[in-house]
Structure 1
Amino acid sequence: MRVTDYNTEVPLVSQIMQGDSFKVLKTISDNTFRTCITSPPYWGLRDYDISGQIGAEDNLDDYIDNLVSIFREVRRTLTPDGTLWLNIGDSYTSGNRRTRDPDKKNMARGMSYRPPTPEGLKPKDLIGLPWRLAFALQADGWYLRSDIIWHKPNCQPESVKDRPTRCHEYLFLFAKNEKYYFNSEEIREPATSRKGWRNRRSIWSINTEPNQYDHFAMFPESLIEPCLLASTLECDKVLDPFFGSGTVGVVALKLHRRFCGIELNPKYLDISYKRISELVRS
């Protein structure tokens, strides 16, 4: 699918590509994108019933290695001053339970498979997956610049009695090189103790947003907007190799950026087509 935005002096052409992210990225030229904003499938939390899906690996190290390989291709396709914004959540070991029943409050959590407990961890352990991935990407050559806490004031309740309910995920900022484009003025926030504005802090309180589509974990647009404003200019091209329902593309078009979205799941492609077509027609 190609999308053209005529609300600028120069028409901006964007595209959605179906396929395996690693294979599709191999077809894209070096230095194409100013930034990448994405959230890969989390390990062992959802079964999308798609052959080759990321997140369904039995071995945690395989999951991390697969993502490192994909983001190595992402780094190649970024401009020299490019950045990566990576949203990733944590999870707990399954205790070697191989299935999970649906939750009345969250039917999407039901799974026909679950990975075994990773070596070195115990049942009920918090895996620390975001930091394992962040350190693996850092070791592969990325500059790890910030760990942002996405605080969800309206987080989903959890039926647990032996730990606090989780209400946050991580949003990591990586850079391709030591020097990179970052416009802090575009994302300044109101100062709390005095009048005026201050540099954006590293805890972002942003509600999840309800949606009418069959997608359980859509990005809120207000999470994507500051990433785009800080790391791109109008007409720049943005990558999301796990496009899902297309929120990165929606926000990019609203801010007059171009986008390239890659998605393996045909169901999510249909959602992104619908959302972006409605936006272009409006």
Structure 2
Amino acid sequence: MNGRAIVLRGDARNLPLPDESVDLIVTSPPYYGLRDYRDGDESLAGQIGNEPHPREYIDNLLDCTREWMRVLKPEGSIWVNLGDSYYSGRGAPKGQDAKSPARRFGVRPLDRSGLGFPPKSLIGLPWRYAIGCVDDLGLTLRAEVIWDKPNGLPESVTDRVRRSHEHWFHFTLQRRYYSAVDEIRQPASDYSRRPGAQRATPPGQRRRAMADTVNPLGALPGSVWEVASQPLNVPEHLGTDHYAAFPMEWPRRIIRGWSPPGICTACGEGRRPVCERTPMVWRESPTIAGRTGDRSYKPASGTMLTPPETRITGYACACPTPVAPTRPGVVLDPFGGSGTTSLVAATLGRHGVSVDRSADYCRIAQWRTTDPGERARALGLPKPQPVHPGQDSLFEEIA
């Protein structure tokens, strides 16, 4: 089953997609007051992020999210990455000084009589958006995940900590939704104790406790993900650039964990992983048996554990026997930008749909989702060697 990337020019508030046609949404809207998004020499009129007041920015994001709820299937998820801003105390959020693009293209100073931010305060835009999604749209906020940036940019501040994280929010339409977290489990802790700490339970009981609590496939991902930023080098012939592409690792984890690899053509459900677990085996320690001379004697401290094994053996849906063919799941990024989400979705066997208002960004996404080097990078493979100019295409018919 092969996925493909689709690049569309459109507005995140009015998507060119039918109702309930998308399995997962992964996106990062423009941050407030950070930059001016353009097509060629013209600024995009009515662009999100250049509103006169943060309240209007949040309202526009909620309008976008309401549209995303229309195209999302009931069992789907929405993952949104959003950054915050500081209020400078000079009439505009940090970044909107006289030299900033947002300032030059008509963003009015922040009205302190509105939300009344104290100078130097974080505005709290990610949480204002998340609370609006719950209170106004009725979405279920399942998780907040912190993006820990190990290679974040330095800041010229001397009286607070350097900000090295951003927020991701996971929303769902209903209580029961598609999830396949077994696909993205991480190595579990070895339960090692701190030096000098007293053991709370005898060794045999501790081993039994580990067998009862640790999933052999690994631990659930935590709520802090350390993911390094990833540079994007856009070819000069495209005549534009993109400075805010998030790393491929984010959509890779989210797509594997919350979008079905295939949709059953018979029942219409996404196929979920099925795990098979072999039971754990207790056996006697040879050292203890030799010391006692009685092989039936098995004290707790003298037993050894062969841990159970768990592996994903297949995928199931609502069909009693999942024999019907499947079609790829659909992953949407309504602020598609450079096409990261759709590129990763296609390499994972899904259909990735990238939507953006900017023709420049659509051109970047079109290049990126078809470029052999970028596709190899998304797959974690070496970049392929360039094709010799005189070499014939392997796909042309030979006369």
TM-score scaled to structure 1, two decimals?
0.88
- CA distance in structure 2 between the partners assigned to 1:92 and 1:47 by the alignment: 18
- CA distance in structure 1 between the partners assigned to 2:71 and 2:346 by the alignment: 20
Q: Does 1:263 align with 2:257?
A: no
Q: Does 1:210 align with 2:228?
A: no
Partner of 2:167: 170
Partner of 2:276: none
CA RMSD, 1 decimal:
2.2
Q: Does 1:125 align with 2:121?
A: yes
Partner of 1:79: 73
Correspondent of 1:144 among 118, 141, 145: 141
Q: Does 1:60 align with 2:54?
A: yes
Quickly say closer, same or farther: Cα 1:81–1:277, change in 2 above 3 A. same
What is the SS of the residue equivalent to 2:244? coil
Deviation at 1:13, TM superposition (A): 5.1
Deviation at 1:174, TM superposition (A): 0.4
Structure 1 unaligned regions, length at least 5: 1-7, 103-107
The CA deviation string for residues 97-125 of structure 1, in whole angstroms up to 9 with x for no partner, is: 564366xxxxx888525541552212211
Q: Supply the AA of the counterpart residue of 2:121.
A: D
Task: Indicate if the aligned counterparts of 1:152 and 1:208 stay in contact, CA closer than 8 A.
Answer: yes
| 1:1-282 superposed matches below 5 A | 8=1, 12=3, 14-23=5-14, 25=15, 27-48=16-37, 49-97=43-91, 99-100=96-97, 112=104, 115-117=109-111, 119=114, 120-139=116-135, 140-194=137-191, 197-213=218-234, 214-234=241-261, 235-279=328-372
Partner of 2:300: none
What is the SS of the residue equivalent to 1:198? coil
Quickly say closer, same or farther: Cα 1:240–1:138, change in 2 above 3 A. same
Task: Indicate if the aligned counterparts of 2:28 and 2:335 stay in contact, CA closer than 8 A.
Answer: yes
What is the SS of the residue equivalent to 2:178? coil
TM-score scaled to structure 2, two decimals?
0.63
Quickly say closer, same or farther: Cα 1:207–1:109, change in 2 above 3 A. farther
Q: Supply the AA of the counterpart residue of 1:123.
A: P
- CA distance in structure 2 between the partners assigned to 1:148 and 1:253 by the alignment: 24
- CA distance in structure 1 between the partners assigned to 2:35 and 2:69 by the alignment: 27
Deviation at 1:203, TM superposition (A): 0.4
- CA distance in structure 1 between the partners assigned to 2:91 and 2:188 by the alignment: 48
- CA distance in structure 1 between the partners assigned to 2:163 and 2:35 by the alignment: 17
Q: Supply the AA of the counterpart residue of 2:233.
A: Q
- CA distance in structure 2 between the partners assigned to 1:164 and 1:110 by the alignment: 26
Task: Indicate if the aligned counterparts of 2:27 and 2:79 stay in contact, CA closer than 8 A.
Answer: yes
Task: Indicate if the aligned counterparts of 1:145 and 1:173 stay in contact, CA closer than 8 A.
Answer: yes
Percent identity over paired residues = 38
The CA deviation string for residues 79-103 of structure 1, in whole angstroms up to 9 with x for no partner, is: 110000000011111323564366x
- CA distance in structure 1 between the partners assigned to 2:180 and 2:101 by the alignment: 38
- CA distance in structure 2 between the partners assigned to 1:12 and 1:209 by the alignment: 23
Structure 2 unaligned regions, length at least 5: 38-42, 192-213, 235-240, 262-327, 377-383, 385-399
Task: Indicate if the aligned counterparts of 1:93 and 1:117 stay in contact, CA closer than 8 A.
Answer: no
- CA distance in structure 2 between the partners assigned to 1:267 and 1:229 by the alignment: 29
Task: Indicate if the aligned counterparts of 1:249 and 1:261 stay in contact, CA closer than 8 A.
Answer: yes
- CA distance in structure 2 between the partners assigned to 1:40 and 1:69 by the alignment: 12
Deviation at 1:198, TM superposition (A): 0.7
The CA deviation string for residues 179-227 of structure 1, in whole angstroms up to 9 with x for no partner, is: 1111110111112335962111110000001121321111100111110
- CA distance in structure 2 between the partners assigned to 1:249 and 1:38 by the alignment: 10
The CA deviation string for residues 200-255 of structure 1, in whole angstroms up to 9 with x for no partner, is: 11100000011213211111001111100111122100111000000001100110
State the aligned residue count: 266
- CA distance in structure 2 between the partners assigned to 1:101 and 1:205 by the alignment: 34
Deviation at 1:265, TM superposition (A): 1.6
Q: Supply the AA of the counterpart residue of 1:125.
A: S
What is the SS of the residue equivalent to 2:13? helix
